[in-house]
């Protein structure tokens, strides 16, 4: 169940949320820490709407792990705040606080969730785990990394943004060809009825390809890949996805017919 750290609040609390000084709620006093560790599982997901934290929120909802959320206010550059940098020194969203410590990097967090719950992935030693791992790391190290280049070309190729964007779009289309074949074969993917963490990771990135950046998403047509289209439509109707959509203001069809978010708090960019 998703229990927000703060509900409707005063302006002063909004200020605390924006600059992440509410991290003293996370770290608290010795008594608060003892209480947190006494729980069998107490997680805090540091998130921003429609960011990579959405992938983790979806996995947490699917597995039923209890968690709270802590907003990182991107409009106020909360990811650069010293308190958040103590959680994730890279200054990127998400960060996931666990009883064993803080995890960052989306792929690492997903792997931790699957190993902790023994859900959303083949277990270690099972033959299907090999395919799951290769595609999980492909999603994290290749597809997600190249999406960042598409979103922020000036950071990677200042002065040559158009050339980089065109090449990355070609790369992504080729990657989706491979992924569509893997999804069809259920090679490292489980499908909408029994999704794995790889399915959840992929469908959120497909959402982003349809929306971002606003000036450069015309290259993407999900219907070019029927297997991916089927996967997206199936996961769109899952209760866990519906809960995530409500929490982050993603609308009624956040994957199959996505719109820009209207979150109840925070900003996607």
* pLDDT tens per residue across span 208-257: 999 998 877 789 999 999 999 999 999 999 999 999 999 999 999 999 99
pLDDT value at position 40? 61
Q: What is the pLDDT of residue 83?
A: 93
What residue ranges define each of the domains in the chain, with the CATH number in brackets?
A: 2-117 (3.40.30.10), 129-248 (1.20.1050)
- The DSSP symbol for 224 reads G
Q: What is the pTM of this model?
A: 0.85
pLDDT tens-place string over residues 243-266 = 999 999 999 999 999 999 999 999
Give me the residues paired with residue 46 across strands.
70, 95
Mean pLDDT of 153-179: 96
Band of the pLDDT at 17, cuts 50, 70, 90? Answer: very low
User: 191 pLDDT exceeds 80?
Assistant: yes
pLDDT of residue 41: 66
Number of Cα atoms under 13 Å in the Cβ half of residue 187: 11
Kindly tell me the burial class for residue 78, based on how many C-beta atoms sit within 10 Å of its own C-beta (0-12, 13-18, 19 or more): buried
């Amino acid at each position: 169940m998703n229990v927000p750290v703060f509900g409707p609040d005063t302006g002063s609390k909004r200020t605390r949320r924006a600059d992440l000084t509410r991290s003293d709620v996370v770290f608290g006093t010795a008594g608060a820490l003892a209480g947190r560790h006494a729980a069998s599982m107490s997680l805090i997901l540091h998130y921003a709407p429609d960011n990579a934290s959405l992938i983790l929120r979806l996995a947490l909802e699917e597995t039923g792990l209890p968690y709270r959320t802590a907003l990182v206010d991107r409009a106020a550059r909360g990811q650069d705040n010293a308190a958040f940098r103590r959680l994730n020194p890279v200054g990127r969203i998400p960060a996931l606080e666990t009883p064993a410590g803080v995890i960052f990097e989306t792929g690492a967090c997903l792997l931790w969730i699957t190993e902790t719950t023994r859900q959303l992935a083949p277990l270690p030693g099972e033959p299907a785990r090999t395919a799951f791992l290769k595609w999980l790391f492909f999603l994290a190290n290749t597809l997600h990394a190249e999406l960042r280049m598409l979103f922020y070309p000036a950071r990677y190729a200042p002065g040559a943004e158009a050339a980089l964007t065109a090449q990355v779009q070609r790369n992504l289309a080729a990657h989706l060809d491979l992924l569509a074949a893997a999804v069809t074969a259920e090679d490292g993917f489980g499908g909408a009825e029994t999704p794995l963490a790889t399915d959840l990771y992929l469908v959120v990135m497909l959402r982003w390809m349809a929306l971002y950046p606003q000036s450069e998403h015309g290259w993407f047509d999900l219907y070019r890949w029927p297997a991916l289209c089927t996967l997206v439509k199936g996961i769109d109707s899952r209760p866990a996805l519906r809960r995530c959509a409500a929490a982050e203001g993603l609308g009624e069809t956040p994957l199959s017919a996505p719109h820009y978010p209207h979150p109840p708090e925070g900003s996607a960019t």
